Amino acid sequence: MTDSSESAAAQLRPGLWRTVNERYPGSMIHKGDFVPLARLRQPLSESRLSFVSTAGVQPAGTPPFDTAHPVGDYTFRRVPSASRPDELEIHQLKYPTHGARRDLNVIFPVERLQELAAEGVVGALTPNFFSFIGYNMDAERLERTLAEEIADAVAADGADVALMSPA
């Protein structure tokens, strides 16, 4: 095992998340309603795809996500879909970023999606992707403001389909 893989393994902290319910009582969000996924109205190869992530990825040099706030950050960032990984940075305390710092695509696959668009697997990418941090204690605010704002922004970017990924 190399030094870097040892660091990555140390970050995994086996067992930590098995006790998340005990350590964070009341943190689980229970949804009583159900919103079915929308069906694609056209082939993926003719669709404009957007990407929404909780990875805390943002353009380098922009005001960082508020990782210090005890109740979370309810803002999002637009990440140009034409970005190179070295133009982006991560501000996020709560997930292991060791691998992502070596290759951002493992958590925010900007280059892979650019390739899929270039190969015609997807029709095009929206001008922006969208990113926020997943540490949010106010589930209602998350649902009623942040999620709505991101949905509006994704729609305004002309998305036909959105790939959503938790970090």
Partner 1 sequence: MSLQYLREAVEAGDAEKLIRYVRLHLGDGDEAAGRAEIDKAWIEALKLLLDVPETDRPFILQTIADRDAATLAHLYFHLHFYFVKRSGEWIHDGQL
- Per-residue b/e over 141-162, b at no fewer than 16 CB within 10 Å? ebeeebeeebeebbeebebbbb
Q: How far is CA 151 from CA 19, 25, 161, in A?
A: 32, 29, 11
> How many other C-beta atoms can be found within 10 angstroms of the C-beta atom of residue 9?
13
In the complex, least distance from residue 29 CB atom to partner 1, rounded to whole angstroms = 8
Asked if residue 24 binds partner 1 (CB under 8 A), the reply is yes
Asked if residue 62 binds partner 1 (CB under 8 A), the reply is no
Are the C-beta atoms of 153 and 78 separated by less than 8 Å? yes
In the complex, least distance from residue 2 CB atom to partner 1, rounded to whole angstroms = 19
Asked if residue 54 binds partner 1 (CB under 8 A), the reply is no
Calpha distance 40→30 (Å, rounded): 27
Among 40, 42, 82, 94, binds partner 1 (CB under 8 A): 94
Asked if residue 137 binds partner 1 (CB under 8 A), the reply is yes
- Stretch of residues binding partner 1 (CB under 8 A), selected from 45-53, 90-98, 117-125, 143-151: 90-98
> How many other C-beta atoms can be found within 10 angstroms of the C-beta atom of residue 5?
11
Among 97, 126, 128, 131, binds partner 1 (CB under 8 A): 97
Asked if residue 16 binds partner 1 (CB under 8 A), the reply is yes
Asked if residue 15 binds partner 1 (CB under 8 A), the reply is no
In the complex, least distance from residue 30 CB atom to partner 1, rounded to whole angstroms = 10
Calpha distance 15→19 (Å, rounded): 7
Per CB under 8 A, residues contacting partner 1 are: 11, 16-17, 20, 23-27, 29, 56, 64, 67-71, 90-98, 137-141
